[in-house]
Amino acid sequence: MKRKLSARQMQMIALGGTIGVGLFMGSTSTIKWTGPSVLIAYAIAGIFLYLIMRALGEMLYVDPDTGSFSKFATEYIHPLVGYLTAWSNIFQFVIVGMSEMIAIGGYFKFWWPGLPAWIPGIVAITFLCLANLISVRMFGELEFWFALIKVVTIVLMIIVGLGLIVLGIGNHLHPIGISNIWAHGFFTGGFKGFVFALSIVLASYQGIELIGVTAGEAENPQQTLVKAIRSTVFRILIFYIGAIFVILSIYPWNQLNNVGSPFVETFAKVGITSAASIINFVVITAALSGSNSGIYSASRMSYTLANNGQLPQRFLKLNRHGVPFYSVISISLGIFLGVVLDFVSPYFFKDASNIFVMVYSSSVLPGMIPWIVILVSQLEFRKQHKDSMANHPFKMPLSPWSNYLTLAFLFVTLVFMFFNPETRVSILVGVIFLAFMTILYFVKFHGKVKNI
């Protein structure tokens, strides 16, 4: 493969993989569990995600390779764990990509109500597949601009919101202030509600580890990775916490269900009459970004599995642009199933309107597997690379205690997700998937794994 991803592209890839449709369209669902204290939930989750990324960065600095955390799992834990990590990543991103294709059909109906939902889906997946086949630089450039659109929208929303809060712009010059954050309760759902919200918040950060998949195709990987990891987590925290702080200041948290999209309403308040169309365009780019990242990440994990002898060798075949051809095609076809599912589901289900949520939520547990693997791998990595650690400039802070604390946090979150009726099914889907892949591994590959 070719090292064609610049620092500029990698930072936006990491941002774009994490800032998705959930923030624009689903932020009210995280607030309903615990009210304004969701700000603390985002901050806590962000701190632990930073520690996970630092653990990944420590290993990548020494060994920047494609499919990084799956490779690390195989080397430092067990080949089974590497196998499950790669397949979890593929499952996660194919499922996310499928849900984004379902969503895109709905978004286009905003402008053309009579347009069949499968048409935008087919056009989108064909475009993204071809773009990923052209070159990794094309993927990086597309993701850069998709992510930039999202980032600019969030920044503008924060600026407009602060104008309403501080100066009263759009409210007859009567500043709204920030009293809504505490006036209607802060920890409104108690401890249980806060932890339930924490689990949903944590899921919204999924995709941040994508930067590890790009390591094998990054220009000047050590310098690029350090810069991207240092800046990305803090930017995500600012965007998430900043946007939600503005929303909670302008609108009482217990009235958000009547607001619709807070982003649309905030822009509309200051006289931007086309706000709904603007946000609809942004969420389309957010959906394209999610699918674009999915094709890239899952295809590189397919390549890693083939390199380990756990997928047919054709998945190692690169086209003349240095892109794994069969891997990209296969993952694109997997994501295309979302278009098919959206088309046929009304014939089998009485209420198919929640198909997006049903599909998307099943990616939650597989999406957390790479985080757990990164933290455990780094502990063994340190033991095996004591010489490299002496002058390592990007060590994991407070390791191993920070590893143990973060693992405990993830475990507690998963337990509470099981007890929450709204997330229990997604956890069970993930458990069934992992159990099936474990059985498949022992039947087909146990003792036959190619040495890396």
Is 451 a member of any domain? no
* Band (371; pLDDT cuts 50, 70, 90): very high
Is 452 a member of any domain? no
What confidence tens digit (pLDDT) does each residue in 96-129 have? Answer: 888 888 888 888 888 888 888 889 989 999 999 9
What confidence tens digit (pLDDT) does each residue in 300-338 have? Answer: 889 888 988 889 999 989 888 788 899 999 999 999 988
What confidence tens digit (pLDDT) does each residue in 273-286 have? Answer: 787 888 888 888 88
- Write the CATH number for 95: 1.20.1740.10
Question: Mean pLDDT over residues 76-91, rounded?
Answer: 92
pLDDT surpassing 60 at residue 46: yes
Residue 377: per-residue pLDDT: 94
Q: What is the mean pLDDT of the chain?
A: 82
| pTM given for the model | 0.86
Spatial distance between the Cα atoms of 277 and 167, rounded to a whole number of angstroms: 26
Give strand pairing partners of 324: 318
Is 156 a member of any domain? yes
Spatial distance between the Cα atoms of 198 and 193, rounded to a whole number of angstroms: 8
What's the number of domains the chain is made of? 1
Q: Which has more pLDDT, 222 or 38?
A: 38
Q: Quick check: 95 and 285 in contact, CB under 8 A? A: no
Is 355 a member of any domain? yes
Question: Mean pLDDT over residues 146-171, rounded?
Answer: 87
* Band (358; pLDDT cuts 50, 70, 90): low
* Band (145; pLDDT cuts 50, 70, 90): confident
Weakest-pLDDT range from 16-20, 207-211, 392-396: 16-20
Q: Which residues span the domain enclosing 295?
A: 7-444
Residue 22: per-residue pLDDT: 60
* Band (130; pLDDT cuts 50, 70, 90): very high
Q: Which has more pLDDT, 132 or 452?
A: 132
Which helix (H) or strand (E) segment holds residue 430: the answer is: helix 421-444
pLDDT surpassing 60 at residue 352: no
pLDDT surpassing 90 at residue 199: no
pLDDT surpassing 90 at residue 407: yes
pLDDT surpassing 80 at residue 192: yes
Is 31 a member of any domain? yes
**DSSP labels for 86-118?**
HHHHHHHHHHHHHHHHHHHHHHHTTT-TTS-TH
Q: Which residues touch 417 (CB under 8 Å, ≥6 apart)?
A: 199, 364, 423, 424, 426, 427
pLDDT surpassing 90 at residue 83: yes
DSSP state, residue 445: T
Is 1 a member of any domain? no
What confidence tens digit (pLDDT) does each residue in 390-406 have? Answer: 788 888 999 899 999 99
> Could you report how far apart the first and last alpha carbons of the chain are, in Å?
16
Question: Mean pLDDT over residues 169-187, rounded?
Answer: 87
Tokens encoding 45: 């989750």
Residue 214: per-residue pLDDT: 65
Is 449 a member of any domain? no
Is 450 a member of any domain? no
Residue 435: per-residue pLDDT: 95
CA atoms within 13 A on the CB side of 64: 20
pLDDT surpassing 90 at residue 232: no
